[in-house]
A and B are shown apart, each in its own frame.
Chain A
Amino acid sequence: GAVVSQHPSRVICKSGTSVKIECRSLDFQATTMFWYRQFPKKSLMLMATSNEGSKATYEQGVEKDKFLINHASLTLSTLTVTSAHPEDSSFYICSVENPSGLSSYNEQFFGPGTRLTVL
């Protein structure tokens, strides 16, 4: 399967600052990437779909001005948490979509996640 990296793996920041998280597809070009957020003891919640060369599509209830997504190349998508607050502390996970072409399912490959703590 595809190899997906995230950087940083952990970040601690002060309230009010902005934090950028990178998601890289290391071994194939990804037109579509997804960003998820995982709360403790809860499921992964899809935040947005990131499409190379166009604006991201945000899920209902996700503030697009708060969580800026840039998919500037076929191997990199970034999520910027702007003016972070303690309630933004969470585990953020990205995935890349690999269109199979042979089935109805486009498999997703996940990054290892980024733990954000806002003080």
Chain B
Amino acid sequence: GNSVTQMEGPVTLSEEAFLTINCTYTATGYPSLFWYVQYPGEGLQLLLKATKADDKGSNKGFEATYRKETTSFHLEKGSVQVSDSAVYFCALSDWGGSEKLVFGKGMKLTVNP
């Protein structure tokens, strides 16, 4: 079945450091890919998405490109802030009538001032 593998962390960075969180997937067909973020005490929020190969999703300075040839969707940010401290989940859609999501294990990021 479909699956998502991502870096697990936890990861601690200093403010303004470069961030990469690797995510690879296994899927049949042509899934959509997502990054969700969970801030402390809050529910998961959609950070960005890409629905077809070579699409680039971007939001809040984060970017990820849908790479079909490497089955990857790595998340990057050039300069992280303390407010980026959260848990990041990579996910793909698994169409089954409704848009069922398959998640990676999540990675906790802590950014220190």
- CB of A112 within 8 A of CB of B41, answer yes
> Which range contains the number of A residues in contact with the other chain?
20 to 34
Which listed residue, B97, B99, B100, B104, touches A43 by the CB 8 Å rule?
B104
In the complex, B29 has a CB within 8 A of chain A: no
In the complex, B73 has a CB within 8 A of chain A: no
> Which range contains the number of B residues in contact with the other chain?
20 to 34
Q: A-B contact count, CB below 8 Å?
A: 58
* Most B Cβ at <10 Å: residue of A49, A105, A112: A105
Chain B residues touching A, majority SS: strand
Which listed residue, A44, A49, A97, A104, touches B51 by the CB 8 Å rule?
A104
- CB of B105 within 8 A of CB of A43, answer yes
State which residues 7-40 of B face A: CB under 8 Å. Answer: 8, 32, 36
Chain A residues touching B, majority SS: strand
Shortest beta-carbon distance from B57 to chain A in Å: 11
Which of B42-50, B59-67, B78-86 forms part of the interface with chain A?
Answer: B42-50
How far, in whole Å, are A110 and B39 apart by their CA atoms in the complex? Answer: 12
Which listed residue, B32, B45, B49, B102, touches A1 by the CB 8 Å rule?
B45
How far, in whole Å, are A44 and B42 apart by their CA atoms in the complex? Answer: 15
- CB of B100 within 8 A of CB of A112, answer no
How far, in whole Å, are A112 and B44 apart by their CA atoms in the complex? Answer: 7
How far, in whole Å, are A93 and B102 apart by their CA atoms in the complex? Answer: 14
**A residues within 8 Å of B by Cβ?**
1, 4, 32, 34, 41-46, 49, 57, 93, 95, 97, 103-113
